[in-house]
Amino acid sequence: MNVLAVLPHLASYLLAPQPWDNLELFFDQSVAGIATGSIYGLVALGIVLIYRSTDVINFAQGELALFVTFCGWSMIEAGYPYLAMFALVILIAGGLGAFLERTVIRPVEGAPVLNVVIVTLGLFVIFNSLTAFIWAQGELPKSFPATPIGTELETFDFGILTLQQHRVAVIIISVIVAACLYLLFNRTKLGLAMRGTAQNRVAAQLMGINTGRMLMLGWALSAMVGAVGGMLVAPIIFLDLTTMLRVILFAFAAAVLGGLDSPPGAMIGGITIGITQNILSTFALGPVFFGPQLALPAALLVLVLVLLIRPTGLFGRHAVRRV
Amino acid sequence: MLPGLEKFYEFLVLAALVGVLIRYTPVLPARWRVPVAVIAVLAVICYMPFTVGTFRTSQLTTITIWSIVAIGLNVLTGYNGQISLGHGAFVLIGAYTAAILTDSESQLGFFDGAQWPFWTAMIMSGLVAAVAGVAVGVPSLRLTGPYLAVATLSLMIALPSVLEKYDSVTGGAQGLHPRQPPVPGFLDGILERPEWFFFLAFVTAVIMAAIAWYVVRSRWGRAFVAIRDTEVAALAVGISVARYKVLAFTISAFFAGVAGSLVALASTGFVSPQTIGIVLSINYFTAIVIGGLGSIMGSIIGGFVVVLLPDLATDIGTALFGEQRGARLWPTIYGSILILVIIAMPYGVAGFLHRAAAVKPADIAGAISRTPRNALAYLADTRERLTWRWTERDGKRGDAP
Amino acid sequence: MLTVTDLHASYGAIVALHGISLRVPDGQIVALLGANGAGKSTTLRVISGLLRPTRGAIDYDGIRLHRRTAQEIVGIGISHVPEGRELFMELSVEENLRLGAYIRRDRNVKSDMQRVYEYFPRLRERHAQEANRLSGGEQQMLAIGRALMSRPRLLLLDEPSLGLAPLIVREIFDIVKTINAEEKMAVLVVEQNVSLALSVASYGYVLETGSVALENNAVALMGDDKVRRSYLGYEVGA
C-alpha cells in the first residue's frame, strides 16, 4: 500500500498559505466568516426558539425560510420596494409559522417527540417541493437583491479594511435582530411569559398564561427570524432550491454548538462555525487541519470535539436526568 | 388480478394479505401462525423476481438492502434509544470496504490480483463498519438526543469529502467499480444476473434479520431496552450502560456495513462518495419511525417505505394533477403521507399491526366508518385552534401526578 | 365562598375522585387531610382547572368553575401552589414573582412584590438568583409568594411541608396564618402532617380513596378517635 504517498501531502500543507503570510486576507476572511456565521446564527436561533419550548428540532426551518424568500423574490419582480418586501416577508413567515403550529404540530402534541420530528421532516419535503412547483418554471437560480445598505459586489473602505457592503449589512441586521429578541425576552412581559411557558407549562397555566398562544408565537417568531436569514443569504449564494439546504446543516451545527436551549449560544455558535469554515477553506493551517479540501469535515470535527467536552453545547443547560 | 395495479404492487398486496390472513385467522395453532406467515410472505417475495421484470427486481434488491440498514438502525434507535441520522456513513464505509477488497488490479493495485471472494468481503465490510461503530459509539456515550443526532449527521456530511480527498485509496470523486460476483456455477442457467443479485441480498437479509431477532431477545437486547427506558435505573441494577450502548452502536454499524457491501456488490456495481447522500441517511431514520421503532418487522416495512413511497407519491401525483404537475408535486404528496401516517399510527405501521392483533372485524368496520367523522372532527378542532383566543385545556404535560 | 359538590375526576381509566363535596368559607383556612392517593392533590387540580372533572360542580361566589381553564380561574381570584412547587427553575426569584402577577393590569405590582418580600425576607436577599439555586424552604416560600402576586382571595396550598425540615415547615405555616389574617384570604391546604394543618385550620376534611370520610371543625377533628389513631399515631385509650 502506498502509505508513503502521504509524505508529499504533508509537505504541501506546510507550503500552503498560512494566516500569518497574508494578514489582510485573514481579516477579510474573518469578516466574511462573521457575516455567513450570522446567517447560520439567525437560522439556528429559529431552531433554538422552537426546541427550548417543545424539545423538537424543526427540520423544516430552512425550507420555510426558502419558501418565504421566494415569495419576496416575486414581490421584488412585481415592483415592491425592498423595505416593503422585507416587512411583508417577515409577516408572511410569522403567519405561516403560527398556522403550521396550530394545524399540524398541535395535533401530534403528546405523541413521542420523534414523531413530531417526522412531521417537520414531512414539512421540509412539502415546502421544498411547493417552492419548486411555484417558482421553478423559470430560470434557476434567481438573483435576489441585497439590502439597501449596500450591494453584494461593491465594497466599503475603512482605511486598512475593505469590506464587501452586503457583508456589513448582514452583520448590522443580525445585530438588530438579536437585540430585538433580547429586548423581547428580557424586557417585556410577553417575553417573560414565553420563557416561563418554555420552562414549565403547568406552572405557566397556573399563572394565567395562555400557553398555547405562547407556543404558537414561538413558532411564528422562529419562522420570522429564519426568513430574515433567508433574505440575507439569498444575495450571496443566489436563490435556488438547495439554497437553504446549504445553510440549514450549518445552522443545526451552530445551534448544537451553542446549546440547543440558548439563543445567545445560537448566534455565537453560528459565528464560530462561519469563521472556522472560512479560515479553514482559505488557509491550510499546517498539518493540523488538512487543507481547504477538508474544510467541511474539519469544521464538523471542531463541533464534535466541543460536544465531547460540553455535551450540551457551549451555553446549553445540562440535561436533567429523571429516574 | 387487480385492475389498474402493476403486477409488482399486486404481488406486494398479495404478500401482505397472505401474511395478515395467516397471522390473524385462527386456522393454525397460535404459536405456528407467526413463523408460517413469515415463510409465506417470504415465499411470495422470492417468486417476484421471476415475473416483475428487471427494474422492479433491482428495486426489490434495494428494498432488501435498506431493510438490513433499517434493522440495524432500529437496534440502535428503537431498542437502545440512541438516535443516529448518520447511518449512511456506515453504509458508505461498508460499500468502500467491499469495493476495495474485491478490486481488480486495474484500479488501485493493492492485492496483486488476489481479490477477496465476495462473501468474505461482505463479512469484512461489516467488521470494518463495526470498528467504525465503536469509534463513533464511544464518544457518543457523552451525547444524547438531538446532540447525538446532529453529531452523527455531521459524520455523514463530512465523510464524502474525506473519501474524495484520499483518492489514492478510494478512487476520489470518480469512485470505484467493484467486481460484482458472477452467478455461481450451480445456479448458472437458473438465475439471471439481477435475480442472482436479489437472492444474494435476500438471503443476507434473512440471515441478518434472524441475527437481529435473536439479539433483541437475548440478554443484550433486554439490556438495550432497559437502558432506553431509564438509563439511571439500568445503571442501578448493575447493567454496564456504557458497554451496552457501544455494543448497540457496533451491532448497528455492522448491519449497515454488510448492507453497504451489498450496495457495492449486488446493487449498483459502482461506489462513489455520492452513492449515499445526506437525504438518504436521514430517510433511514424516517423509515424506522414510520415502520415502527423497536420492531424488526417495522424496519423491513421501513425498507419498503424508503424505496416505494416516492414512487407511490408520484403515481398519486400524476393521477391527481396530471403527468406534468404530478411529477413536480410528488414530494408534497410524499411529505403529506408521512405526516398523515405518523398522526394516524403514532407507533408506526408495525405498532399499528401489532395492536391490530386484538382487533375484531367489527372494530375495523367501525374504524372505517369513523374515519370521515374523525377527519371532520380534526377540521373542526383546527378551525377552533386557528383563533387567537384558543387555549390549551387540561395541562397536558402534567397529567397524572 | 368556594362550594364543591359531588366532584368526580379520573386520570384516563383510573378514577381518582368519587364524589367529593366541600366548602371553603371566605377568609378561613380549611385543611384537606388524608393518606397518599386519597385524592387531595387531585381535588386541588380540579378546582384550579388543571384537570377537568368528569362530574360534579364547583362554584365560587356564584361563578361556575368546572368548565373553565386554569388561566381563567386565576383571573377569578383562585391561586394554586401546586404539588412539587413547579417553579420556573431557570428564572430569577423576581421574574417568578412577576409571572405570578401575569394576569394583572394595574400598577401596584411593584408594591405587592415588596409585600411578598416583607412576608418572606429571605426572598428579597435572593431576588436576583435563579429559583434552582434556592433551598427547599426558600423554594416553597417563592411558590407561595408567586401565588400571592395574583392577589387571590382563595389560595390552594398543596403539601407545603413536602421534603422540608420541621422548623421551616412551622415557619411557613406561621406565615400562611399571618397572610390569611392580614389579607383576608381563604386557604385550602392539603397536608399529610395532620396536627400541624389542624393547628392553623378552622375546619378539616379527611379524604379516603377519593371521597370524604370525615369532616368537622379543627378542634373536634383533633379530638376524634379515628383521626388520632390513623393520622396522629396515638393509641386510643393509652
Tens of pLDDT, residue by residue over B160-216, are 988 888 777 787 888 888 888 888 888 888 888 889 999 999 999 999 999 999 999
Chains that touch A (3 or more CB pairs under 8 A): B, C
Asked whether C218 and C49 are in contact (CB, 8 A), the reply is: no
Identify the pLDDT of residue A246: 81
How many Cα neighbours within 13 Å face the side chain of C231? 25
- Over residues C11-49, the pLDDT tens digits come to 888 889 999 999 999 999 999 998 888 899 999 999 999
Per-chain mean pLDDT for chain A: 87
Interface probe, candidates A100, A108, A134, A256, chain B, greatest B C-beta count within 10 A: A256
- Over residues B305-318, the pLDDT tens digits come to 889 999 888 888 88
**Chain C residues near any Cβ of chain A (below 8 Å):** 48-50, 69-72, 74-75, 79-80, 82, 86-91, 95, 98-100, 102-103, 146, 150
Min distance C11 CA to chain B CA atoms (Å): 6
Min distance A163 CA to chain B CA atoms (Å): 30
**C48: chain A residues, CB-CB within 8 Å:** 206
Confidence of residue A319 (pLDDT cuts 50, 70, 90): low
Pairing outcome for strands C78-81 and A161-164: unpaired
Question: Strand, coil or helix: what is C187?
Answer: strand
Interface probe, candidates A40, A125, A244, A302, chain B, greatest B C-beta count within 10 A: A125
Q: What's the rounded Cα separation, in Å, for the pair A16 and A13? A: 5
User: Which residues between 175 and 204 in chain A have a beta carbon less than 8 angstroms from any beta carbon of chain C?
Assistant: 189, 192-193, 195-196, 199-200, 202-204
More confident residue, C65 or A288: C65
pTM: 0.88
Contact B335 A293 (CB under 8 A): no
Q: What's the rounded Cα separation, in Å, for the pair B93 and B95? A: 5
- Over residues B104-131, the pLDDT tens digits come to 555 555 555 567 888 888 999 999 999 9
Identify the pLDDT of residue A177: 97
Contact C86 A317 (CB under 8 A): no
What is the torsional sign of CA B24, B27, B31, B37?
negative
- Over residues B319-370, the pLDDT tens digits come to 888 888 877 888 999 999 999 888 888 889 888 887 776 666 677 777 777 7
Q: What one-character-per-residue DSSP string does B63-96 give?
A: HHHHHHHHHHHHIIIIIT----S-HHHHHHHHHH
Identify the pLDDT of residue B134: 96
Cβ-nearest to B401 among C41, C69, C70: C41
Range among A271-285, B152-166, B277-291, B386-400 rated most confident: B277-291
Residues B263-280, mean pLDDT to the nearest whole number: 88
Residue C115 makes CB contacts below 8 A (sequence gap 6+) with: C148
- Over residues A229-282, the pLDDT tens digits come to 999 999 998 898 888 988 998 999 999 999 998 999 999 999 999 998 888 877
Confidence of residue A285 (pLDDT cuts 50, 70, 90): low
The rounded percent of chain A whose pLDDT value lies above 90 is: 53
| Cα–Cα separations (whole angstroms), residue C33 to C19, C23, C25, C174, C219 | 16, 14, 17, 19, 14
- Over residues A7-39, the pLDDT tens digits come to 666 666 666 666 667 777 888 888 889 999 999
B393 at interface of A, judged by CB pairs closer than 8 A: no
Identify the pLDDT of residue B107: 55
Cis check for the bond before A107: say yes or no (omega within 30 of 0).
no
Asked whether A260 and A51 are in contact (CB, 8 A), the reply is: yes
Q: Where are the beta strands (DSSP E) in A136-261?
A: 155-158, 161-164
Contact A207 C100 (CB under 8 A): yes
Contact A115 B386 (CB under 8 A): no
Find, among A38, A45, A97, the residue nearest to A68 by Cα. Answer: A97
Find, among A119, A103, A102, A115, the residue nearest to A212 by Cα. Answer: A102
Chains that touch C (3 or more CB pairs under 8 A): A, B
A128 at interface of B, judged by CB pairs closer than 8 A: yes
- Over residues C41-100, the pLDDT tens digits come to 999 999 999 998 999 999 999 999 988 889 899 999 999 999 989 999 999 999 999 999
Question: Strand, coil or helix: what is B349?
Answer: helix
Min distance B376 CA to chain C CA atoms (Å): 24
Q: Quick check: B4 pLDDT over 50?
A: yes
Identify the pLDDT of residue B400: 39
- How many interchain CB pairs under 8 A, A with B? 163
- Over residues A44-103, the pLDDT tens digits come to 999 999 998 888 899 999 999 999 999 999 999 999 999 999 999 999 999 999 999 998
Residues B28-44, mean pLDDT to the nearest whole number: 88
Find, among B97, B42, B100, the residue nearest to B254 by Cα. Answer: B97
Asked whether B302 and B294 are in contact (CB, 8 A), the reply is: no
Please state the ipTM of this predicted complex.
0.92
